[in-house]
Structure 1
Amino acid sequence: MSEHTLIERIDALRSATPTSPPAPPDITVWRAPTEADIDGIHAVAAAADAVDHPTWITPREDIADTFDLPFIDHSRDSLVAVDADGRIVGFASAFLHPSRAGQLTVNLGGTVHPDHRRRGIGTVLLAWQRARALEHLAAVVPTLAPAESLDPPVQAWTADLKVYAEESNADQQAIAARAGFRPERWFTTMERDMTLPVPELSAPEFEAPAGVSVVPFTHDRDDDARLARNDAFRDHWGSLPSQPETWQKFVGGPFFRPDLSRLAVDADGQIVGFCLASVNEDDWAALGASNSYIDLIGVVRAHRRRGIAPLVIAGTLRAIRDAGLERAVLDVDTASPTGANTLYEGLGFHATSQEVALVERV
C-alpha cells in the first residue's frame, strides 16, 4: 500500500484498539525497565525457558545487549510487571526493526513467569505491546522514502507485528489469537548426533565448484559476512537486512565461534556462502549434551544451486566434531525457498520441536 494508505490503516487500527484489559490485582507496578533490571528479567526468562523450550536457555547477554543498541529505547519500548514483593514476574518489548528497505516490522517479545501465568498478565502485556507497536509505525511512516525510490525499489511499503511462540505454548498462542494475530510460519529445531559420520569434503557430492574454496571465518571478514547474509536472506520470509550494530553484537559476542564457522569464497575472495556457529555452555545441561548451535547458513543468490550450502555445512560439522562436541543444533523455516529442510535431513539432522510466528498485517 502507499505511504498515505499505510498511515490511514495505522490510524484506523489505533482508533479501533480496545481499552486495555483490567490489570491483575497481584501486580502492583507496571513500569519501564532499566539496566538494573537485567538480572530480574533474565530470571523470568530462565524460568519460562525451563517450561517452554527446556533444551536451551536465553543468555543474559542477549537481554543486556538490547540496552546498548541505539534503536531501542527501553523507557518507551519495554514494560515489566512487578508483584507486591518487588519481583519482576513478566516483561514485554516492542522493538521496531531499524531497516528501512520497504518492510516495517515490530517484533513483540517477552514472557510471564510460569508461576504467574493464567492470571491475565500476558494479556495486559500483549495489549501494551500492540499499542506501542502501532505508535512506532505511526511515528516512522511519515518519514519514509517513496517505495519506488528504494534500492531495490518495491511496489509499496508494508508493515507487520510479529510474535513468536513455542508450538507447545498453547496459552501464548491463544492470547495472541484473541488480539488478532494469526499463525503464518513455522520454524523447526533440528539436532544432529555428532557420532554420526561427517561427510568428507573429498566425496564427489561435496566437490567444490570451480574457483570456490571453504575457509575458516576470520574477523577481518565481519562486515563482508553481514552483507553476504543480507543478500542470501533477502527473499526469506520475514527477513530484514542485518544492521552493523546488531551484527557486531553477534560476531563480536561471547558465544560466536569463528573456529567452528566456515565461509565459501570465490576466486576473487568474495564470500558466496557461509555457515556460522556459536557455543553457549549454559545450554549443555539443558540439552543433556555438549553442542554447537548453527546460527546462520546461506548462499548469496547469484551462486545458489552450485552445491555450496552442503559444502560449508560439512566444513562446520567437521569442526564441531573435531572440537569434541556431541550435538549440532539449528533452526529452519519449514517453508524455506531453498528447500533447507531436505538438505539438513540428508546431512543427519532430525526435527525435535517447533516454533510458530503469529503475525498481524497492518
Structure 2
Amino acid sequence: MRDGYVLRSPVEADLPAVAEAVSAAERASDPTAAARTVAGFRHEWASLDLARDVWVVTGPDGEVCGYGQVGGVREGRVIGDAYTRPGHLGQGVGTALLTRMEARAAELPRPVVLVNYVLLDGAADRMLRARGYARTRVHQRMRIAVDGPRERPVWPDGVTVRSCDGTSEDLLRVHECAEDSFGDRWGHAPRSYDEWAADLLYEAFDPDLWLLAERDGRTVGVALCQLREVEGRPAGEVSQLGVRREARRLGLGRSLLLASFALFAGRGIDSVGLDVDSTSPTGAHRLYERVGMKTTTGIAQFERALSTDG
C-alpha cells in the first residue's frame, strides 16, 4: 500500500465507519445497493475472530477506506469479502486485503477454496483473474418498484399462505423447507438448524415478513424477507425464496414473490430487491424477469484453491 495507509484488526468502535465505508463502496458500482448496517456487521463479527479473520485499512487522514474478512470453512470453502472506499482506489488497498485473506485461508487446517464476490468486469474482477482465480458463477442483483398496481398472487389448489409466528416450532418448519428447497442449488452446503438460526435470527429478523406456503399441514414454500435501506429510503429485500421439489411447476414461487411485493407495499415500501444466481437450476432468474424485476448490476463469483503451504 502507499505511504500513510495502515492495515489492522478492527475494534468495536470501528463498526459505524466500516458500515459506512462498505456502503459507499457498493453504491459506487450500484446506486440501488442496500445500505450495510452496524447491526449486520456486529452480527457477522460475533462469529469471527476479529484478530485473525477481519481487517480494516485506514488512510492518511485516519478514515476507514478498506475492509476485508473471511468466514468459517463449510464443505472446504471459505467466503472472502473485501471493499475499497471510492477515492482510495489504486492505492494498493484491495491487493493488501486480498493477500491477507489468502494467508489466513491458507492457515486453516485443511486445503480450502477461497471464494470472493466482486463487481462483474470491474477492477477487482481483473485483479482476481491475474492472481489465478477462476470465475465460477455470475449473480444478478435485481430490483422492482412496487408502488403501483401489481399482479395478484394465484395460489395452487390446496395451498394457503401466512406469516411466520416466530415460535420455535414455526422456525423449525421454515428451516426444514428451506434446506429441502435449496438442496439442488449449486454449491449448497447443508446447515443444521442452529447454524441456520445463527445466520438469520438477529436484529433484522421480523417474523411478519416471512411467508409460509402450506399444503396438507406441510410447509412447501417460503419467502424470507427483511427491510433494508436503498438510496436513503426504506426498501424491501427477498433474502430467500424457496419451493420444495414436490410443489414446483405450480406457480407457487411466482405467487410467493408477488405476495412479498404486496406485503412490502402494504407497509408503504416502494421497491423490493434480491440477489439470484444467473444460472439457477430452477430458472429463478427468469421468473424474476417475468414479473418485471430488472438487473441493477452483476456480481462475479471467483474461486481459488489454497493449500496449507500457500
TM-score category, normalised to shorter length: 0.7 to 0.9
Residue 115 of structure 1 aligns to a residue whose secondary structure is coil
User: CA shift at 1:263, angstroms?
Assistant: 0.8
* TM-score normalised by the chain length of structure 1: 0.76
1:297-308 pair list within 5 angstroms: 297-308=241-252
Letter in 1 for 2:152: E
Which residue number in structure 1 is paired with residue 162 of structure 2? 215
Q: Is the 8 A contact 1:265 1:272 kept in 2?
A: yes
Determine if the alignment matches structure 1 residue 40 to structure 2 residue 17: yes
User: CA shift at 1:297, angstroms?
Assistant: 0.4
Which residue number in structure 2 is paired with residue 122 of structure 1? 94
Which residue number in structure 1 is paired with residue 230 of structure 2? 283
Which residue number in structure 1 is paired with residue 278 of structure 2? 334
Deviations 1:96-135 (A, max 9, x none): 24x4xxx221111121222221011211211111121121
Letter in 1 for 2:164: F
Q: Is the 8 A contact 1:209 1:306 kept in 2?
A: no
Structure 2 unmatched runs, 5+: none
Which residue number in structure 1 is paired with residue 178 of structure 2? 229
Given the alignment, which residue of 133, 144, 147 partners 2:105?
A: 133
Given the alignment, which residue of 163, 184, 198 partners 2:150?
A: 198
In 2 relative to 1, CA 246–34 (structure 1 residues): closer, same or farther, beyond 3 Å? farther
In 2 relative to 1, CA 31–350 (structure 1 residues): closer, same or farther, beyond 3 Å? closer
Which residue number in structure 1 is paired with residue 189 of structure 2? 240
User: CA shift at 1:228, angstroms?
Assistant: 1.8
Q: Is the 8 A contact 1:209 1:308 kept in 2?
A: no
Question: 2: distance between equivalents of 1:361 and 1:299?
Answer: 32
Report 1 or 2 for greater relative contact order, CA contacts < 8 Å, sequence distance ≥ 6: 2
1:67-86 pair list within 5 angstroms: 67-69=45-47, 72-86=48-62
1:1-362 pair list within 5 angstroms: 23-27=1-5, 29-55=6-32, 56-69=34-47, 72-97=48-73, 99=74, 103-136=75-108, 139-140=109-110, 159-167=112-120, 170-201=122-153, 206-210=154-158, 212-220=159-167, 221-242=170-191, 244=193, 247-248=196-197, 251-268=200-217, 270-280=218-228, 282-285=229-232, 290-361=234-305
Residue 24 of structure 1 aligns to a residue whose secondary structure is coil
Q: Is the 8 A contact 2:31 2:231 kept in 1?
A: no
Deviations 1:264-317 (A, max 9, x none): 12212x22111111112x3252xxx65311111001233322332123222222
In 2 relative to 1, CA 302–64 (structure 1 residues): closer, same or farther, beyond 3 Å? same
In 2 relative to 1, CA 351–52 (structure 1 residues): closer, same or farther, beyond 3 Å? closer
In 2 relative to 1, CA 195–37 (structure 1 residues): closer, same or farther, beyond 3 Å? closer
Residue 342 of structure 1 aligns to a residue whose secondary structure is helix
Letter in 2 for 1:273: G
Deviations 1:149-174 (A, max 9, x none): xxxxxxxxxx4211111226x11112
Letter in 1 for 2:181: A
Letter in 2 for 1:35: E
**Greater strand share, 1 or 2?**
2
Q: Is the 8 A contact 2:43 2:202 kept in 1?
A: no
In 2 relative to 1, CA 134–243 (structure 1 residues): closer, same or farther, beyond 3 Å? farther
Larger deviation: 299-308 or 181-190?
299-308
**Greater helix share, 1 or 2?**
1
Letter in 1 for 2:254: P
Q: Number of aligned pairs? A: 303
Q: Is the 8 A contact 2:82 2:94 kept in 1?
A: no
User: CA shift at 1:344, angstroms?
Assistant: 1.6
RMSD of aligned residue pairs (Cα, Å) = 2.3
Q: Which has the larger radius of gyration?
A: 1
* TM-score normalised by the chain length of structure 2: 0.88
User: CA shift at 1:243, angstroms?
Assistant: 5.3
Q: Is the 8 A contact 1:261 1:276 kept in 2?
A: yes
Question: 2: distance between equivalents of 1:348 and 1:84?
Answer: 45
User: CA shift at 1:335, angstroms?
Assistant: 0.4
Structure 1 unmatched runs, 5+: 1-22, 142-158
Deviations 1:35-81 (A, max 9, x none): 23222322321331331322121122221112222xx2121112222
Letter in 2 for 1:80: V
Question: 1: distance between equivalents of 2:189 and 2:206?
Answer: 23
User: CA shift at 1:249, angstroms?
Assistant: 5.3
